[in-house]
């Protein structure tokens, strides 16, 4: 985004990039009508969003994963139970609760590979972005946050938000010392279990753009086209 302060002190944006738009959808048409009053709307980029159906609960979800993936998950789940790893669910309802949970998440993130490489949520602007996101989701009761814990210590987390019966995943992370336990995979399974119990119908995992995001291919079977629009103030 590019912006400046107007005479009244109000911030005015000259360029805005909006991503994750479903082309041709009803909301896209409504959005375009509203934006064209003040902006030139340019088609900036195309992409794919990956998602998984939660139809038929956890077992249905797992049935749509590969046999090799299911086998690895089953082994990891048994090891986790034997080691005493537990999973703690949270639906924050206030700014204070959201802040406390976010602080716990950052403590985990600092010890993850992303934290060690200084490219995760502990760094700006991501740190502030997710703080605001979790706070806003909590005010509406839409945040879903889960921690993996061992002997009273947080060793991993996963979080996202719901919109009706659709869940959009945001971030997950785990302490690098626990990497061989497959904590990230375990958190995904337990989050899906929770969502299915709540009656969610779809798990969106965001853009599929290769590189480190290739792991999403193992968890999803739907590919949905998305666009990014660049807005230039008239």
63, 121: one domain: yes
159, 193: one domain: yes
Domain count, the chain: 2
Q: 210 in a domain, yes or no?
A: no
37, 119: one domain: no
116, 133: one domain: yes
Listed residue (162, 185, 179) closest to 87, CA to CA: 185
27, 103: one domain: no
Q: What is the 3-state secondary structure (H, E, C) of 155-209?
A: EEEEEEEEECCEEEEEEEEECHHHHHHCHHHHHHHHHHHHHHHCCCCEEEEEECC
Residue pLDDT tens, the chain, 234 long: 554 444 555 555 678 889 889 998 888 999 999 999 989 999 999 999 999 999 999 999 999 999 999 999 999 999 999 999 999 999 999 999 999 999 999 999 999 999 999 999 999 999 999 999 999 999 999 999 999 999 999 999 999 999 999 999 999 999 999 999 999 999 999 999 999 999 999 999 988 876 667 788 889 999 999 999 999 988
16, 91: one domain: no
- The pTM of the full predicted model, rounded to 2 decimals, is 0.86
9, 105: one domain: no
Any idea what the CATH number is for the domain that residue 195 is in? Answer: 3.40.630.30
6, 93: one domain: no
pLDDT tens digits for range 92-123: 999 999 999 999 999 999 999 999 999 999 99
85, 194: one domain: yes
Q: 159 in a domain, yes or no?
A: yes
43, 64: one domain: no
Domain that holds residue 109: 55-200
The stretches of 36-110 forming alpha helices (DSSP H) are 57-63, 67-83, 95-110
Q: What confidence score (pLDDT) does residue 6 get?
A: 46
Cα–Cα distance, 128 to 209 (Å, whole number) = 24
* C-beta separation of 190 from 196 below 8 A: no
């Amino acid at each position: 985004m590019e912006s400046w302060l107007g005479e009244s002190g109000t911030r005015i944006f000259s360029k805005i990039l909006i991503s994750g738009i479903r082309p041709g959808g009803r909301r896209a048409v409504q959005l375009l009508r509203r934006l064209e009053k003040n902006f030139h709307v340019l088609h900036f980029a195309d992409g794919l969003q990956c998602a998984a159906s939660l139809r038929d609960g956890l077992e249905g979800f797992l049935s749509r994963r590969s046999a090799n993936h299911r086998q690895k998950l089953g082994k990891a789940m048994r090891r986790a139970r034997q080691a005493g790893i537990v999973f703690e669910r949270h639906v924050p309802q206030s700014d204070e609760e959201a802040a406390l949970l976010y602080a716990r998440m950052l403590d985990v993130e600092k010890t993850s590979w992303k934290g060690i490489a200084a490219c995760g949520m502990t760094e700006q602007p991501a740190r502030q972005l997710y703080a605001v996101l979790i706070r806003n989701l909590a005010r509406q009761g839409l945040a879903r946050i889960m921690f993996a814990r061992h002997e009273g210590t947080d060793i991993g987390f996963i979080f996202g938000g719901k919109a009706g019966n659709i869940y959009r995943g945001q971030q997950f992370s785990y302490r690098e010392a626990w990497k061989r336990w497959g904590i990230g995979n375990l958190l995904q399974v337990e989050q899906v279990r929770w969502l299915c119990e709540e009656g969610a119908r779809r798990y969106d995992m965001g853009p599929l753009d290769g590189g480190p995001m290739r792991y999403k291919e193992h968890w999803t079977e739907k590919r949905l086209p998305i666009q990014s629009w660049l807005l230039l103030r008239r």
